[in-house]
A and B are shown apart, each in its own frame.
Chain A
Amino acid sequence: MPRVHRHRMRGRISRQRVIQLLAAALFNGYAAGFRKGRIFTGGSKAFCVPVLNCYSCPGALGACPIGALQTALGAKHHFPFYVLGTLMLFGVILGRAVCGLLCPFGLVQDLLHKIPLPKLTVPRRLDRPARYLKYLVLALLVVLLPAFLVTDTGIVPPLFCKYLCPAGTLGGGVPLLLADPNLRKVAGALFGWKALVLAAILLASMSVHRPFCKYLCPLGAFYALFNRFSFFQMRLDEHKCVGCGKCEAACPMQVEVTKDINAPECIRCGKCKAVCPTGAVSSGFARGGASRPAKKEAP
């Protein structure tokens, strides 16, 4: 069973949580939208936010990059220069720090995991192959089907948003349906399906850490491609490391910190850094050279 939350031992709110809360508030800063049951229509919505944050969330001030990517591919069938460039920029600067520090749906899963219920570790033989599912979701639902599927209307719906995305249901569907009786009237089987997906993910989050990020999120899959060479890197000083294994026990994503600290699964949450007794783990922006761990000198 993973031992988590050690970084909060002194009862203080962690730096990760502060950044997550600020980011969630920043990306969903249109508070009046929740009251009115309307979405923001200002010019900032031409810009993609780095996280999975539905543009139909009443508070959203920017556009969801996964929704925008599917729209560009599905409606216009052209190469999405703008969205891809934006995603690439976020990816090369931050890698999956976006998931660990900025994503509001990641925050929701983190908070649910704090509920004192038995915590489960998915067996390795199931966990490892299941991690590749998110790449399949990205390739199939977000890129290939919207790009190559031909429908009667010539417009392919955003399949990931329509059938899978729990962030859209939680951030957009639920508040809009609560605020607008007309929308409630037209909600049917599809909303039932999406609510079921959302409920399953939220329930699973109470026992398994970030199940959506680990297994299904296409945006996490995209940023994972940049994790090894992004500017923001985790670093392990092998001179200081005493091999106690505390970092690996604390890692909610089951990264082998001492072997592959910038693995694609690392969301840069900083839990390994917080529990390291010798300060061997650090993080920050690389100034140029690769952040290769320093090797112990031969005796």
Chain B
Amino acid sequence: MRSALKTREKTILALRFGALGLAPVLIGIGFFRQEHLEVLQKAVRICLECIGIG
């Protein structure tokens, strides 16, 4: 019981800090590939699909 809880806690910690470490890496790669500019390009124009025009 005790060891199962310990394993669960370790898994949670690994996932928590793994995701926290991975997220900035993905964001960094995205910046390097200028994906934020693609986001900007899409977001500064009215998205006709989004508002239901088509």
> Which residues of A are interface residues toward B (Cβ below 8 A)?
39-41, 43, 45-48, 54-56, 60, 62-64, 67-68, 71-72, 75-76, 80-86, 88-89, 91-93, 157-158, 161-162, 165, 168-169, 172-173, 176-177, 183, 186-188, 190-191, 193-195, 226, 228-231, 286, 288-290, 292
Contacts and interface: CB of A to CB of B under 8 A. Distances in A.
Contacts of B39: 45-48, 63, 68, 71-72, 82-83
Given A63-B40, A229-B16, A83 B30 contact: yes
Given A92-B23, A229-B12, A289-B9, A46 B53 contact: no
Contacts of A68: 39, 42-43
Contacts, number: 165
Contacts of B29: 81-82, 85
Interface residues of B, number: 39
Chain B CB within 10 A, most for which of A85, A195, A289: A85
A191 B16 contact: no
Contacts of B28: 85
Contacts of B12: 228-229, 290
A283 B29 CA distance: 33
A152 to B, nearest CB: 16
Contacts of A88: 19, 22-23, 26
A176 B40 contact: no
A297 B49 CA distance: 58
Contact of B30 (A80, A161, A168, A288): A80
B23 A186 contact: no
A162 B49 contact: yes
Contact of B50 (A45, A55, A80, A85): A55
Contacts of A168: 47, 50-52
Contacts of B22: 85, 88
Given A82-B30, A169-B52, A56 B47 contact: yes
A60 B40 CA distance: 12
24 contacts: A45-B39, A46-B40, A62-B43, A67-B42, A72-B38, A81-B30, A81-B35, A82-B31, A82-B33, A82-B39, A83-B35, A85-B26, A92-B23, A168-B51, A169-B51, A173-B51, A173-B53, A183-B51, A183-B53, A190-B52, A191-B53, A230-B16, A286-B16, A290-B8
Q: Which 8 A-B pairs have the closest CB atoms?
A: A82-B30, A85-B26, A194-B52, A173-B51, A85-B27, A82-B35, A81-B30, A46-B40
Given A40-B44, A62-B43, A68-B39, 19 more contacts: A39-B45, A46-B36, A54-B51, A55-B50, A60-B43, A67-B43, A82-B26, A82-B33, A82-B36, A82-B39, A85-B28, A86-B23, A88-B26, A89-B24, A157-B49, A158-B49, A158-B50, A162-B52, A173-B50
Given A39-B44, A63-B42, A80-B30, A191 B52 contact: yes
A88 B22 CA distance: 8
A32 B21 CA distance: 39
Given A67-B47, A92-B23, A292-B8, A187 B30 contact: no
B5 to A, nearest CB: 6
B26 to A, nearest CB: 3
A143 to B, nearest CB: 15
Contacts of A172: 46-47, 50-51
